[in-house]
Amino acid sequence: MRYRKLARTGVEVSTQCLGSMMFGRLGNPDHDECARIINRALDGGINFIDTADIYSRGESEEIVGKAIRERRDEVVLATKFFNPMREDRNARGGSRRWIVQAVEDSLRRLGTDRIDLFQIHRHDWGTDLEETLGALTDLVRQGKVLYLGSSSYPADWIVEAQWAARRRGSERFVCEQPQYSIFARSIEESVLPACERHGMGVIPWSPLAGGWLTGKYRRDQDVPGGSRYSRDGVYGRRGGSLAEDPSTPARYDAVEKLVKIADEAGLSMTELALGFVDAHPAITSTIIGPKTMEQLDGLLAAADVTLGTAALDAIDEVVPPGTDLPGIDHISGNPFRRPENRRR
C-alpha cells in the first residue's frame, strides 16, 4: 500500500480508501462479516474509510463505528451528509439547520467524538453556499469535524466554494469526491484541473463503473447471480436489465477491447481499472467498495499496480480523455435542465 498527503492538510491517507456503501441491508447485512472486512482492510494497509449517513439509512455508519472502535486512532474517518434521512422535508440538504443535526447523528452512529473528513454528498442548488460553508466552519471550530469536503460538485461549484471560503473567512473544502473511471472521464476536462489549481485532494468513487470494469458483464454471457443487473441484484429489484439499457452495446464493445489491453499488460481487469484511476496526478485515494472478503482481497492486490504508457495510451483509444461512455450519470441534479425551467 502507498500513501499520499490529503491535499495540503499534512494528513497521509492510503491510496485505496475503503468505501462502506455495501455494508448493511443494501449490500452485506452480516455485521460481523463486515467488521472482519474492515479490519482486514486495516491490516492490509488501508487507513482511510469513507461512509455516509444515507448508506442503508445509517446502518453503514453504525457498522463502521463498531468495527473500528478499538482502532479509531488508526483511521482517517470520512462520512457524508445531504440526502434525505426521513420524511421531514428539512432532514436533508445543505442548510445550517440540517447540518447541525446531521453531524450529531453521524457522530452518534459512528461512536466517535470527531469526524476527520465531513463531506457534503451533493451540491445543494437551493441553499446559499455561504450558509453551508458557515455551518460547516462552526463544526470545525467546535472540534466535531477536522476537515471539509465536497462530492459530485461540478467545476464551477468547486471554484465558487473556494472563493466563498476566502471571501467569508470560512474553512474551505480540502477535497472533492467525483465519479471517475475508464468509462467516466469527463471530469478530466474541468473538475480535475480545478482541483489541482486549488490544491484539493481527489477521492474518486465507482472506479469499476458498477462492476463493468471487473469484466463480469460480457456480451453473450449470462449476468452473474447477485450482481446489480441480475434478477436479485440492485437493478434487478428495480426492474431494469442490461437488455433494456441503451448504453449496453457501447459498454460491451469497450469491455472487449479493455480485456485485450489487460491481457497484454499481464493484469486483471480490476487491476487495469484501478491502475488507470490512480495514474492521474490529481488523484489522492481511490474508493473501493467490497461486499465480501473475496472482493476485498482482489482489490487489495491492485493497490500497487502502476500502468505503463502503452496501456494508458491504449485505454485512451477506447474512451478518449475528457469523455464519458453513454449512460454515465454524474448526478448533478441541475434544476435548470428541467423542462419548466428552460427558456423555450
d(CA 3, CA 287): 14
In the numeric block, the cell 463486515 is attached to 34
SS3 122: coil
Count other Cβ atoms within 10 Å, centred on residue 84: 14
Q: Cα–chain-centroid distance for residue 203?
A: 6
If DSSP codes are grouped into helix, strand and coil, which group holds residue 186?
helix
Torsions phi, psi for 43 (to 5 deg): -65, -30
pLDDT at position 335 is 82
Residue in 13, 7, 332 with CA at minimum distance from that of residue 187: 332
Which residue shows C-alpha cell 476566502? 166
Strands (E), the chain: 3-5, 12-14, 16-19, 48-50, 76-81, 115-120, 145-151, 173-177, 201-202, 286-288
| SS3 label, residue 293 | helix
The pTM for the full model equals 0.93
Using CA atoms, how far residue 164 sits from 13, 128, 158, 170, in Å, is 27, 10, 10, 8
- How far apart CA 136 and CA 225 sit, in angstroms, is 42
**CA–CA dist 24, 57 (Å, integer):** 9
Rounded CA separation 197/341 (Å): 32
Separation between Cα atoms, residue 259 and residue 13, nearest integer Å:
30
Residue in 55, 180, 217, 235 annotated catalytic = 55
Q: How many CB atoms lie within 10 A of CB 140?
A: 15
Query: In Å, how far from its chain's centre is CA 257?
Result: 26
- To the query of whether residue 235 is one of the catalytic residues in this protein, the response is no
pLDDT, tens digit only, all 344 positions of the chain? 999 999 999 999 999 999 999 999 999 999 999 999 999 999 999 999 999 999 999 999 999 999 999 999 999 999 999 999 999 999 999 999 999 999 999 999 999 999 999 999 999 999 999 999 999 999 999 999 999 999 999 999 999 999 999 999 999 999 999 999 999 999 999 999 999 999 999 999 999 999 999 999 888 777 776 666 655 555 444 445 677 778 889 999 999 999 999 999 999 999 999 999 999 999 999 999 999 999 999 999 999 999 999 999 999 999 999 999 998 988 877 888 788 887 65
| Burial environment of residue 78 by CB neighbours within 10 A (0 to 12, 13 to 18, 19 or more) | buried
